[in-house]
Structure 1
Amino acid sequence: MNLSLNIHRLSLQAQAVWWRSLMGIGMYLHRAAPPLPLSPSFVRDIDTTLAVHRRGSIRLVFYTPPDYGRPGNSKRYPCIVNFHGGGFTMGTATDDARWATAVVQQADTIVCSVDYRRAPEFPFPTAVEDGADAVMWIWDHASELGIDPNKIGVSGFSAGGNMAITVPLRLQDALLRRRGAEPPQVSSDAPVVLEHEHRVVKLVIAWYPPTDYTRTREERRKSNRRPDKELPTFFTKLFDAAYLYPPKEVMLDSPYLSPGAASDELLQFLPEDFLLYTCEWDELLAEGEMFRDRLRALGKGVKYRMIEGVRHGWDKSPNPLRPDPVAQEWYQEACQEIKRVFHGQ
């Protein structure tokens, strides 16, 4: 049985490596269209602290405004910590370079894109733990990075959109434990509030995220308005088998996997400002709308957009001739919200 599982994991890894290489070509073409996106300004490699059984390092890729680091510039910038998509299995931190460019140029905000470790080599909950480690490190080193620690947000696409929601929950748990307080799952009418560490993340921007893994793939597919626009089944099977390991042992209702199944008490720890974007032709649309309704019922200031006539991952088209004008439009709207939250504009 163990031999069979090992062979299966090796097969998944081989598949993941193959598709990562093809996705890398697609993302190269995506970034090649004029105008070219920004190149990373610098990188940092940090040690993990939360994935106690899977120690390692995480690469953080920073994109900065043009006046960042200039002599005499003592400005402290907001920072958006971004998580790429790819089913927790594929993708890299530079995949969202066009999004990072929009945020830097239109919102005068630093972007840190996280090269979290991927499945099947690093299954759940490694990605979420790496994401929380990244935000915590940035918060701890904000002064030397030129970042305002009171203006940190997160964003993400697809699997990264899931992380944009689950990382703040995992981070809050880590910070409370670091202070010796009760974790946020505690059932209480008055949750623990820690000065300077309560809700470090002030803004969430989640693009077409999965929010509820308690829903089967069959249930999700049946909810799609255009099944012909669906992600290929072999991709979703690969993603689930790679990330949800060991099979039948992962708690699918874990708040760090399925925030849509989390308790109201825990969801209260999410920030008040929340942007949620879904796709009309996507199996994740229905659960995204249910999650929106839950957050609004909790009094969160959710700005929601269902982008019409697009499929999952619509903004990552590998077109080397020109970027997607629809993506530019929605990126601009999201940047306006970043300016409102962090710059008061």
Structure 2
Amino acid sequence: MTDTPLAQDTQPQLHLFSRLYEGTCIITAQNLAMGMKWAQQWYQWFYPPSLKPNYIKMYENRPQLPIRIFFPRDYDQTSPQALPTVFIIHGGGFCMGSPEDDDIWSERFATMHNALVIELNYRKAPAHPFPTAIYDLEALIIAVLNDESLPMDKSRIGVGGFCAGGNLALSVCQLPSIRDKVRPAAVFAICHLVDQTIHTREKLKMRYRKPDLERDIRGKSSWGQTFRWSYVPIGHDLRDPLLSPYFALRDDLPPHIFLIGVELDHLSHEAWRMANKLAGRAVPAFTEMAGQEKPARDSESLILDDERFVFEQVDLGGKRSVHWLLVPDEAQGFDHFSTSFYSSEEAARAAHLKTVAYQELVGQWLRNRAWIPALGRAGKTSPTQTHREYT
């Protein structure tokens, strides 16, 4: 691999046969996913799931996009207590997925951190390409903000997302309406895509391969270019900060930013570069790898004593911060796959424990870093009192 990988400034037009191939791939995948969802809904009609959101709501500005709302398990909905609020944006390459994909994650986080968690929705490419999803999310966030029936503490708001949802979280937070009206104190992104200029085959070279780990196979996805072709209009500037948040100005993002990479994911390198760039640190070369070549000694824990895996940069007396975390020995989706996906109980247990561990860190960061000024101004409960133990 060269020091500078193959990069593009604008979205190219593909040859006819390539367009037919990519279009067939994405439409087939969407139809298969729709069929599986239809079958799951019928199954749940007869066998209702034990885990359900407290509310499913639709708003007039986007009636076709229901959102899902989770309260902490023991929250008294008759209480006047306002809750810190986290908006979550699901992944799926801008083309697939749905809010319920994040139900387990959202319910756990809501209870763990005594927060209101709202799963957002958006229309999918290729029928609805960039920037449709960003403006869908903008409309829904503002609608929720104006919904007086929800016990939101509007001084304590965070926006987060997974993979494509992480990209969308970093993008929607740049919009003037979100910056000026919603004013989220924090944004966090997990397994996120931030640089559309680099071809997927180049990104696949920028991560360690650990063939001894059975879950390494999940890092070898070749769908990245199909999703990009479906989402990005031909000829569009790939350095547009709403498309590639790596190129966003620091002042256009929320004051507190937490970027979470996953070591075996082909997106880990660009996430690492963005974290260093935002923190004012030296940006890693394309030839450097995020993480370490060998598996971690402790397969069930995060690595919190190595700057390759974690660091925090705090500026302006705590008014701005950038936090980086790299989850070792896992690949994209590790925090969403069911235990049946893994071929061993040990691998499933390790993924679960690391998911809970990073959720704990994100919540601590929100309480003790991003939301501290709001707590102080409002005279609300101290940060340590907002946390709930979760098992």
Relative contact order higher in (CA < 8 Å, ≥ 6 apart): 1
Residue of structure 1 in register with 2:243 after alignment: 257
1:96 equivalent among 98, 102, 120: 102
Aligned counterparts, 1:165-314, within 5 A: 165-170=170-175, 172=176, 174=177, 197=181, 200-226=183-209, 229=216, 231-245=219-233, 247=234, 249-262=235-248, 264=249, 267-297=250-280, 299=315, 300-314=320-334
Q: In the alignment, does 2:68 pair up with 1:61?
A: yes
Q: C-alpha offsets along residues 293-326 of structure 1, whole Å, 9 cap, x if unaligned?
A: 1211294411211111111222122324876222
The Cα shift of 1:9 comes to: 7.9
Residue of structure 2 in register with 1:317 after alignment: 337
Q: C-alpha offsets along residues 77-101 of structure 1, whole Å, 9 cap, x if unaligned?
A: 1110000111111111011112212
Q: 1:303 to 1:19 in 2, by over 3 A?
A: farther
The Cα shift of 1:259 comes to: 0.9
Paired with 2:363 and 2:191, the residues of 1 have a C-alpha distance of: 17
Q: 1:37 to 1:153 in 2, by over 3 A?
A: farther
8 Å CA contact retained: 2:138, 2:178: no
8 Å CA contact retained: 1:77, 1:147: yes
8 Å CA contact retained: 1:226, 1:282: no
Residue of structure 2 in register with 1:135 after alignment: 141
The Cα shift of 1:74 comes to: 1.0
Q: TM-score, normalised by structure 1?
A: 0.77
Q: 1:100 to 1:131 in 2, by over 3 A?
A: same
> Matched residues, percent identical?
23
Paired with 1:215 and 1:23, the residues of 2 have a C-alpha distance of: 32
Paired with 2:278 and 2:144, the residues of 1 have a C-alpha distance of: 27
8 Å CA contact retained: 2:137, 2:172: yes
Q: In the alignment, does 2:128 pair up with 1:122?
A: yes
8 Å CA contact retained: 2:246, 2:274: yes
SS in 2 for 1:311: coil
Aligned length: 302
1:166 partner amino acid: S
The Cα shift of 1:168 comes to: 0.5
2:355 equivalent among 311, 327, 337: 327
Q: In the alignment, does 2:53 pair up with 1:45?
A: no
Q: 1:159 to 1:37 in 2, by over 3 A?
A: farther
The Cα shift of 1:8 comes to: 6.7
The Cα shift of 1:23 comes to: 7.4
Residue of structure 2 in register with 1:161 after alignment: 166
Residue of structure 1 in register with 2:388 after alignment: none
Q: C-alpha offsets along residues 92-116 of structure 1, whole Å, 9 cap, x if unaligned?
A: 1011112212221111101110121
Tell me which structure has the larger Cα radius of gyration. 2
The Cα shift of 1:19 comes to: 4.7
Aligned counterparts, 1:76-115, within 5 A: 76-115=82-121
SS in 2 for 1:152: strand
